């Protein structure tokens, strides 16, 4: 009796036409497993940083759902505050779900944030999923339609930009006309293995759904080139951002440069003493104010600014250093803090790994002659 009741409850909470992430595993096993490790699979309950910032922004409304819980069957109620995230509802725990991405019909450009417009379908039909495959096999779970949006705009519905109610930019990662194909080339490279378990068409490869990003130690080394030139008491460090977006696209994030000069195993000079933010030119991140006072959670900010390195741009940092000697070693590291120190204390993060700086990449240079 109890199980029947539970089953009934589950049926009520799942949108009639919704196929959850797990249901794709039956046929798209590899893609499902990649996806499960990705940050798109994270949700309000499993991403502490997101949850704490969301709760600090508002205890009653969850407007973040538009992009963070887009498949929610009660999206409007979450946004207005009539309902709260619920952990036994698959449309709440599925994150940026397979079904959501593959049913975006088009993206509507707008001032505060873009809007993903979903395809609609009459009840009783197999759902239609959009993709880029040419002439896909028949599937008994869904029909497949080739839709050009999967090259053009599919990432821009959420990743483009966001302004708060006071028109303050919370993030701006993409230019209005920017193509999503470049995002896909870097973040969804072709990997081995058929699209689907049976692989009747022996395609042999598919677009990776791990969506590697800043959390992957190897992948994150590829975003920025670091070069240095040193002469006497002067050190120039040049950063070149190869990515199709600015270095900082997330207000909780900090990225910074740490420079050390080592002589006989001892550090004789560093670009900051204790806190990386003390070296203003080498510290990248957002800062927000409300009526002139610094605030951390940007939801109610009235102004904001960001020290950033734009896409495909170069920046040279200049340092006055002690006279170098032959044999000195110069180490230049680019580091990331997933949650800036001030953000972590403002929202009381428990997971200490979020504030512990992690290396993005480093270069080592030994002074050979003067
Ligand atoms: C317009 C779409 C959109 C809305 C609305 C939105 N976000 Fe996001 N958010 C994103 C995207 C895209 C990312 C991934 C970007 C990144 O990681 O740099 C992200 C990432 C984040 C992260 C970093 C997560 C991590 O684990 O590193 C936090 C924190 C966050 N958002 C908080 C919020 C909060 C709080 C709200 C609601 C007040 C919100 N977002 C609303 C699009 C949005
Ligand atoms: C019963 C098996 C089955 C299930 C379950 C299934 N699919 Fe498929 N899917 C297929 C087959 C077969 C193809 C065609 C593959 C090919 O042509 O190589 C396909 C193709 C696709 C494509 C490519 C469409 C295109 O035109 O590029 C997408 C996207 C897709 N599936 C998404 C999903 C998602 C999301 C789920 C879960 C909600 C899912 N599938 C569940 C069998 C299935
Ligand atoms: C429905 C909204 C939505 C769409 C569409 C979307 N994303 Fe995301 N993406 C997010 C959110 C939200 C996050 C952050 C999730 C979190 O950390 O909790 C994110 C995170 C990421 C990350 C960060 C991974 C990391 O390690 O931090 C990458 C990379 C990414 N998305 C790439 C893409 C690409 C490429 C596309 C287009 C093919 C895309 N996204 C489409 C919402 C979206
Ligand atoms: C030339 C390769 C390249 C292209 C093109 C590219 N990215 Fe990235 N992206 C990276 C690398 C490398 C990282 C991780 C290093 C970093 O963030 O500094 C990254 C990081 C990210 C992150 C996580 C950043 C964070 O701090 O949380 C998101 C989200 C993201 N990319 C989305 C996108 C979107 C959306 C597009 C399309 C506009 C795109 N990327 C295009 C290489 C690329
Ligand atoms: C953030 C959006 C997003 C999410 C989430 C997502 N996909 Fe995709 N998927 C894409 C894009 C974009 C492509 C097209 C990539 C290309 O053609 O290079 C794609 C391609 C595919 C394909 C065709 C294979 C290929 O090589 O083109 C299948 C099948 C598929 N996805 C299934 C899934 C399944 C199953 C899940 C969940 C486990 C999922 N997708 C989650 C965006 C997404």
State if residue 135 touches ligand 2 by the CB under 6 angstroms criterion: no
CA distances from 197 to 143, 151, 177, 189, 200 (A): 17, 24, 36, 19, 9
**230 pLDDT exceeds 80?**
yes
Cα separation, 58 vs 173, whole angstroms: 24
CA-closest residue to ligand 4 atom 24? 214
Q: Return the structure tokens found at 46.
A: 């499993």
Alpha carbon nearest to ligand 1 atom 39, residue:
64
Nearest to 194 by CA among 137, 115, 240: 137
- Tens of pLDDT, residues 305-349: 999 999 999 999 999 999 999 999 999 999 999 999 999 999 999
Residue 201 is predicted with a pLDDT of: 86
pLDDT class for 10, splitting at 50, 70, 90? very low
Q: Supply the pLDDT for residue 125.
A: 85
Q: Output the furthest CA–CA distance in the chain (Å, rounded).
A: 84
| Pair 161, 246: CB distance under 8 Å | no
Residues in contact with ligand 3 by the CB-under-6-Å rule are 39-40, 42, 47, 50, 67-68, 70, 96, 100-101, 154-155, 157-159, 180, 183-184, 187-188, 211, 213-215
**pLDDT average, residue stretch 342-370:** 94
State pLDDT tens for residues 167-215: 999 999 999 999 999 999 999 999 999 999 888 888 999 999 999 999 9
- Tell me the CA distances in angstroms from 124 to 16, 54, 121, 168, one per residue in order: 9, 37, 9, 44
Q: Residue 40: which of 83, 97, 102, 117 has the closest Cα?
A: 97
How would you classify residue 68: left for phi > 0, otherwise alpha for psi between -120 and 50, otherwise beta? alpha
Structure tokens at 327: 């044999």
Determine the straight-line distance between the first and last CA of the chain, rounded to whole angstroms. 84
For the chain, percent of residues with pLDDT exceeding 90: 86
- Contact yes or no for 333/257 (Cβ under 8 A): yes
- pLDDT of 248-286, one tens digit each? 999 999 999 999 999 999 999 999 999 999 999 999 999
- For residue 159, the CA-to-ligand 3 centroid distance in Å is 7
- Cβ–ligand 5 distance for 154 under 6 Å, the answer yes
Q: Which residues contact 191 (CB under 8 A, 6 or more apart)?
A: 34, 205, 206, 207, 208
Report residue 363's pLDDT band, with 50, 70 and 90 as the boundaries: very high
What integer pLDDT is reported at residue 13 of this predicted model?
38
**Above 60 in pLDDT, residue 15?**
no
pLDDT number for residue 8:
40
Of 50 and 120, which is predicted with more confidence? Answer: 50
Residue 183 CA to ligand 1 center (angstroms) comes to: 17
Atom 6, ligand 3: residue with shortest CA distance: 155
Average pLDDT over residues 57-74: 97
Listed residue (163, 178, 183) closest to 288, CA to CA: 163
Residues 146/132, Cβ–Cβ less than 8 Å: yes
Residue identifier of the C-alpha nearest atom 36 of ligand 4: 183
Distances (CA, A) of 160 to 54, 101, 214: 19, 15, 17
The pLDDT value given to residue 200: 84
73, 89 in Cβ contact below 8 A? Answer: yes
Distance 73 CA to ligand 5 centre (A): 22
Tell whether ligand 1 has an atom less than 6 A from the beta carbon of residue 349.
Answer: no
Find out whether 272 and 299 touch, Cβ atoms under 8 Å.
Answer: no
Round the average pLDDT of the chain to a whole number and report it: 93
Q: What proportion of the chain, given as a percentage, has pLDDT over 70?
A: 95
Q: Where does the pLDDT of residue 243 fall: very low under 50, low under 70, confident under 90, or very high at 90 and above?
A: very high
Q: Please check the confidence at residue 3 and state whether its pLDDT lies above 50.
A: no
Residue with tokens 């003390």: 278
What pLDDT sits at residue 24?
A: 97
Residue 9's pLDDT band (cuts 50, 70, 90): very low
User: Which residue in this structure is represented by tokens 């495959």?
Assistant: 133
Span from the CA of 248 to the centroid of ligand 1 (angstroms) = 13
With b for 16 or more beta-carbon neighbours within 10 A and e for fewer, the 302-323 pattern comes to: eebebbbbebeeebebebebee
Which of 15, 20, 103, 133 is the best mutation target for the ligand 2 pocket, counting ligand atoms within 8 Å of the beta carbon and taking the most?
Answer: 133
Give the closest residue to 343 by CA, choosing from 46, 48, 3.
48
């Amino acid at each position: 009796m109890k199980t029947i009741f539970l089953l009934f409850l589950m049926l009520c909470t799942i949108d009639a036409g919704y196929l959850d992430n797990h249901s794709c595993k039956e046929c798209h096993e590899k893609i499902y497993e990649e996806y499960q490790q990705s940050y798109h699979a994270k949700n309000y309950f499993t991403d502490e940083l997101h949850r704490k910032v969301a709760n600090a922004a508002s205890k009653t409304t969850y407007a973040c759902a538009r992009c963070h819980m887009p498949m929610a069957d009660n999206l409007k109620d979450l946004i207005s505050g009539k309902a709260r995230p619920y952990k036994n509802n698959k449309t709440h725990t599925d994150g940026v779900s397979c079904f959501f991405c593959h049913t975006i019909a088009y993206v509507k450009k707008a001032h505060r944030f873009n809007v993903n417009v979903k395809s609609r379908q009459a009840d009783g039909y197999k759902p239609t999923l959009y993709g880029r495959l040419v002439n896909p096999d028949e599937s008994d779970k869904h029909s497949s339609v080739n839709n050009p949006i999967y090259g053009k705009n599919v990432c821009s519905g959420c990743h483009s930009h966001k302004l708060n109610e006071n028109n303050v930019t919370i993030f701006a990662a993409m230019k209005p006309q920017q193509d999503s194909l470049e995002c896909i080339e870097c973040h969804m490279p072709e990997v081995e293995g058929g699209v689907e378990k049976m692989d009747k068409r022996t395609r042999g490869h598919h677009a990776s759904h791990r969506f590697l990003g800043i959390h992957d130690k190897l992948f994150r080394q590829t975003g920025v080139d670091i070069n240095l030139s040193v002469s006497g008491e002067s050190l120039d460090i040049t950063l070149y951002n190869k990515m199709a977006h600015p270095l900082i696209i997330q207000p909780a994030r900090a990225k910074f440069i740490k420079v050390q000069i080592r002589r006989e195993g001892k550090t004789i000079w560093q670009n900051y003493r204790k806190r990386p933010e003390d070296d203003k030119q080498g510290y990248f991140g957002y800062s927000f104010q409300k009526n002139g006072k610094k605030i951390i959670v940007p939801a109610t900010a009235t102004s904001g600014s960001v020290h950033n390195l734009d896409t495909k741009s170069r920046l040279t940092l200049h340092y006055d250093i002690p006279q170098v000697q032959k044999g000195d070693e110069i180490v230049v590291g680019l580091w990331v803090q997933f949650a800036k120190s001030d953000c972590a204390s403002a929202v009381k993060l428990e997971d200490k790994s979020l504030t512990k700086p992690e290396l993005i990449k480093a270069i080592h240079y030994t002074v050979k002659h003067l």
